[in-house]
Amino acid sequence: MIIVTSFIAALLLWALSLQQSKKQDVALAS
């Protein structure tokens, strides 16, 4: 349970960081 929770948190945080960097790229391009 602890392992799965940590892994899910890691994946979601990574996805959030990718989304944020994409947003920043779009903002810079425009």
- Residues making contact with another protein (CB under 8 A): 1-14, 16-17, 20-21
Least distance in Å: CB of 24 to another protein? 10
- DSSP helix/strand/coil, 1: coil
User: What Cα–Cα distance (Å) separates residue 17 from each residue in 2, 6, 11, 27, 29?
Assistant: 22, 16, 10, 15, 18
**Residue corresponding to tokens 């990574």:** 14
